[in-house]
Each structure stands twice: as structure tokens, then as C-alpha cells.
Structure 1
Amino acid sequence: MDLKTLNRIDKLGRLKSRGPQTPKWLKPYHLLFIAFLIIFLFGAFIKLLEQNHI
């Protein structure tokens, strides 16, 4: 094997090892952000309904 092939294998190995680690720390914050957004939109929707009924 030449140096180019070894580098390519090394790069692929690093990409594979780096892949699953990102969602591990991103997931909780991502879900928290979505939950906050849903609560905010739900609150805004209720306010809108209250204004329309009065």
C-alpha cells in the first residue's frame, strides 16, 4: 500500500469515528430547542385565539 491509500483509509476511519459522536451532544439541545419552539408557538396560537374571540 502506498501513502495515498493509507491516508485515505485513515481519513475514512476518522470520519467514521467522528460521525456518531456529534448527535450525542447535539441531540439533547436539539430536542430542548424544538420543545421550546413548540411551547412558544402554542402560546402564541392561544393568544391569537383569545384576541379573536374578544
Structure 2
Amino acid sequence: MDLKTLNRLDTLRRLKSKGPKTPKWLKPYHLILIAFLVVFIFGVFIKFLDQNQ
């Protein structure tokens, strides 16, 4: 391959890798964990309200 083609491939690779990076806490596994915690906290809150009455 000549230099022109290599440069074009390099720029294409750079453009491709410039996409928005997903934060670590937004990965699917962490989302499932967060959803479970929210449901758990909600359940505890309902129990607490039920005991007060």
C-alpha cells in the first residue's frame, strides 16, 4: 500500500474511534444492579409506611 492509502485508513480509524464513550456506571450490568436497588429501596419504603399506620 502506498502512503496515501495508509493515511486515509488512519484518518478513517480515528474518526471511527471518536464516538461518545459510555460511562462505566451506564453499562447494562450496572443498570440491572441499579434497577434492583431502586425496587428494593421502594419495597422497604412501603413496608415502613405500612408499619407506621
- Give the TM-score taking structure 2 as reference length: 0.54
Higher relative contact order (CA 8 A, sep 6+): 2
Q: Which one has the bigger helix percentage?
A: 1
Structure 2, unpaired ranges of 5+:
1-10
Partner of 1:48: 52
Q: Quick one: percent identity of the two aligned structures?
A: 5
- Give the TM-score taking structure 1 as reference length: 0.53
Task: Write out the 4+ residue segments of structure 1 that deviate beyond 3 Å after TM superposition.
Answer: none
Mark the structure with the bigger radius of gyration.
2
